[in-house]
Chain A
Amino acid sequence: MLPVPGRHVRRRIMKKLMLGNEAIARGVYEAGATVATAYPGTPSTEITECIAKYDEIYSEWSPNEKVALEVAIGASVGGARAACSMKHVGLNVAADPLFTAAYTGVNGGLVLFVADDPGMHSSQNEQDTRLIARAAKVPVLEPSDSQECKDFAREAFRISEEFDTPVIVRLTTRVAHSQGLVELGERENVPIKPYIKDPGKYVMMPAMARKRHVAVEERLARLSELSDSTSLNRIEWGDRKVGVIAGGIAYQYAKEVFGNASFLKLGMVYPLPEKLIREFASQVETLYVIEELEPFIENSCLGMGIKVKGKDVLPVIGEYSAGLIRERVLGEKPEKLNSIEEDIPVRPPVMCAGCPHRGIFYVLKKLKLNVTGDIGCYTLGALAPLESLDTCVCMGASIGMAHGMEKAMGRDSARKTVAVIGDSTFIHSGITGLIDIVYNKGTSTVIILDNSTTGMTGHQHHPATGFTIKGEPTRQVDLVKLCQAVGVDRVNVIDPFDLAEAEKVIREETAADEPSVIISRRPCALLKNVKFNGVLKINPDKCTRCRMCMRLGCPAIVDRGTHIEVDPALCVGCDLCTKVCRFNAFERVGGENA
């Protein structure tokens, strides 16, 4: 069914199939950048992972997005082209430096790559980066495929330097995580610009900042002119009965739905090209704006007095597709090709077999504690059957929230409450919450789930792993000493697979009328160096079907109705189940007792 390899293969030999994020990395490389920073976050993570493979670029995982952006701003002021990548909610963390870097402007080009997540494939909210960019008064480019990811990354550095401004390249999940063909280019040789002391530009105190605000407004006016003249925004004339304004992935969907209509394809979405939009609108009969999330372009058109259709039929919620647009705008529903009607069970993500978090959540549920949670794989502790995580708001929130609950509900409530937070998240923004507990006389218990990696985003190093983004050994943050240094006297390290010990320590520490930290230490089961003992099976003669093991929520233990069994394709042999089975029913495949 696939096409046969053709003679035109050779013609395309220079093209490479690249993930949008990989193409961004290539664009950063070709633009001659020498510094790149980030904190991992889906769907942006692979940008900096790929950049780290280029020896010409210094790259780092920073402790959080705010630090990442500050390092990139410093690199820019120091004269380098600098890239800083994050997911949409990471931009909230980095918003403070961004809003004022918009005032200082740049020396070497400064580009932020920010990946939004419509549909929340792997996020806690669905915010639209274009709104933040407008509030910060920085321009936004939005690529619609991998080739544009690379091209726009290069163009963003050029615009940054020409207009003396940080630039945001906005991605969405479907662009960041789709592979497309990319034509590779050479790396520009961009010498580091000289560093010149210029307090009027770089010291943002009131007297200087007032002048810079004027510069920002003047710059926006010039960027508006650029938006009207740049080839990033282009009209594709077709049938003029229907006109479509779209950028990013929405353009690709619209091309499939509206085929031979006329398109105003936007690559620069802020500031918008007002003249171009007026010209386009005046020459088409019906005008649609197709954009995921907020009616950003649409409201601007309405503000200009231009009648458009869009969010009257299309949602502000969730991810779009050609099918959705076809259905909502054209009223065409796909034909159902089968008669299969079934309420199909959902398949939510689960903690992996062998996951170290499972032990702690099993104990937390047993002790019926209130648990403030955080962002990471362990957020899955909220789901059945563990169901022992009560809150998840943002990176680091578990600790501040536990403290807030104590202040609201009284000291006794802290005897029944713990905060759980991952090692990477603790470094990101948990440590400040812990300082707050100590400083403001809280008595909360914080459990740091130290799995020696940044798990959910695909295993990145962080300051407490002892390795850099390039895998080089470095000074490792000592979590025990760090907690002690901020004034926590009670710091315990436990193994989450020693359930009895974990239960004992959690009981003691929640009972203590002072702040305490429990470091639950066991590496992520997916890390290469983690070895287990071999697959288990259940001896049916010993199993009483008491279902204690089912409470672990292990994907490898399944109840077949007549009996409980271990799925050998999923079991890794972590042996946690052997610790909850009172009948020694679990046995190692191949004989010996587990």
Chain B
Amino acid sequence: MRSTAIMIVGVGGQGTLLTSRILGNVGISTGADVKVSEVHGMSQRGGSVVTYVKIGEKVHSPIIEKGEADILLCFEELEALRWIDYAKKDASIIINTQRIDPMPVITGKARYPENIVERIKAEYENVITVPALELAKAAGSIRAVNVVMIGVLAQKTDIPEEVWIDSIRKTVKPQFVELNIEAFRKGYNL
């Protein structure tokens, strides 16, 4: 069986924890071994956060190494650049075209790198950009960026849409199910 390594990178507070839960539940449905490694604690306060999801016959290390990721799901452009070395050459790289300035940029001690998406596209073939913030807004909440991104990711897999939607139902609070399914579809139908 083919194993799959997915990295979700973003900024603490963007909802990467929920994303890993939804992905994990989808992973179980494949019948394979699954490990998901998350970040809790200090980095969740606006720091750089990375989540690893590994699916395969037998998964040992929960961490993905440089050059091993099949899918790099980036919630923010600078974070895409930070973790780009972890992507395989033929990886699917999905980038939310959102810019969140880190504090060294805000205080003027560092500069936000320019043309991030173009530079990544020049090196990798499978790069998709997503205006996830606008799509989330259209779905009803800017908080749903994470689920829009899952929708885009889902479209790149062979797993049926119902499995994803079922996982969303199982993972999010009942009052937010419809909103999140709407957000998922915005990404899925992109």
Contacts and interface: CB of A to CB of B under 8 A. Distances in A.
Given A338-B84, A338-B123, A345-B110, A351 B45 contact: yes
B31 A334 contact: no
A337 B88 CA distance: 7
Interface residues of A, number: 71
Contacts of A458: 40, 44
Contacts of A351: 45-46
A483 interface: no
A557 B43 CA distance: 20
Nearest to B112: A345
Central interface residue in A4, A253, A351, by most chain B CB within 10 Å: A4
A340 B123 contact: yes
A337 B111 CA distance: 25
Interface string B77-96: 01101101101110010000
Contact of A122 (B30, B40, B102): B40
Contact of A4 (B30, B42, B92, B124): B30
Contacts of B67: 334-335, 337
Interface in A329-359: 334-340, 342, 344-352
Interface stretch (A176-184, A487-495, A512-520): A176-184
A322 B65 contact: yes
Interface string B7-26: 00001110000001000111
B32 A3 contact: yes
B133 interface: yes
Contact of B41 (A347, A457, A569): A457
Interface of A: 1-9, 11-12, 15, 17, 19, 42-43, 45-46, 121-122, 145, 174, 177-181, 249, 252-253, 255-256, 321-323, 326, 334-340, 342, 344-352, 377, 380, 383-385, 456-458, 550, 553, 555, 557-559, 567-570
B105 interface: yes
B129 interface: no
B159 A121 contact: no
Interface string B99-125: 011111111111111000001100110
Nearest to B28: A17
A352 B66 contact: no
A3 B4 contact: yes
B103 A384 contact: yes
Interface in B39-71: 39-48, 55, 59-63, 65-67, 70-71
Contacts of A11: 31
Nearest to A567: B100
A557 B101 CA distance: 9
Nearest to A339: B123
B163 interface: yes
Contacts of A557: 106
A122 B41 contact: yes
Contact of B45 (A3, A323, A380, A569): A380
A573 to B, nearest CB: 13
A340 B84 contact: yes
A383 B101 contact: no
Given A179-B20, A255-B60, A5 B106 contact: no
A122 B38 CA distance: 13
Given A121-B41, A179-B34, A345-B111, 5 more contacts: A2-B159, A177-B38, A179-B35, A181-B28, A349-B42
20 contacts: A2-B55, A5-B31, A121-B39, A122-B43, A256-B60, A321-B63, A337-B87, A337-B89, A338-B84, A340-B85, A340-B120, A345-B111, A346-B48, A347-B47, A347-B82, A349-B42, A350-B46, A351-B46, A352-B46, A384-B103
Interface of B: 1-2, 4, 11-13, 20, 24-48, 55, 59-63, 65-67, 70-71, 78-79, 81-82, 84-85, 87-89, 92, 98, 100-113, 119-120, 123-124, 133, 142, 156-160, 163
A3 B42 contact: no
Contacts of B88: 337
B152 to A, nearest CB: 13
A180 B35 contact: yes
A2 B26 contact: yes
Contacts of B133: 569
Contacts of B24: 17, 179
Contacts of A7: 31
Contacts of A1: 2, 4, 70-71, 92, 156-158
A342 B113 contact: yes
A5 B167 CA distance: 13
B61 A6 contact: no
Contact of B12 (A9, A12, A345, A349): A349
Contact of A178 (B13, B32, B35): B35
A256 B61 contact: yes
A132 B40 CA distance: 25
A558 B38 contact: no
B11 A347 contact: yes
Contact of A345 (B44, B61, B70, B104): B104
A6 B45 contact: no
